[in-house]
Amino acid sequence: MQDSVIIEGLAVEAVIGVYDWERTITQRLVFDLEMAWDNSPAADADDITLALDYAEVSSAILSYVSDTSFELIETVAERVCELIITRFGVSEVILKLSKPGAVPEANNVAVKIRRRAAA
C-alpha cells in the first residue's frame, strides 16, 4: 500500500443481526479504515480538492449504514468497501468492522477485510 488515509473508531447505530430481537433495535458498529491514497498532490498544493476528504468518507459511511439494514457484519464490511472504492476512487481499503457487545464475555468481535479496486 502506498500512502494512506486512516479513519479510526467511526461509530454508527444500525439495525444489524440475524436474531429476531436484533431486528427491533439498533446496535453500535465501529469502523476502522485504512484507504490507499497518494497524499503528495494535496500536500504539495495544500489543496483539499486533491485530498481524500475523510469527513466526506465518514459521512458517506454513516449515512449508508444507518439507512440500511443488514444481518451480517461481513455484508456491511463488503458493501462499505465497495462504496469507498466506487464513490471515492480509492484503490485499496483495509476495513475492520467491530460489533462491541455481540458476545458479552468478549471485549469485542470484528471482521477485517482488504479489498482492491478491479484492475
Tell me: the pLDDT tens digits for 22-70?
A: 888 889 999 999 999 999 999 999 999 999 999 999 999 999 999 998 9
The pTM for the full model equals: 0.92
99 is catalytic: yes
Hey, what CATH class is 4-116 in? alpha beta
Read off φ and ψ for residue 39, nearest 5 degrees.
Answer: -85, -10
Position 1 confidence tier, pLDDT thresholds 50, 70, 90: low
- Single out the catalytic residue among 99, 101, 105, 113: 99
CA distance 118 to 91: 8
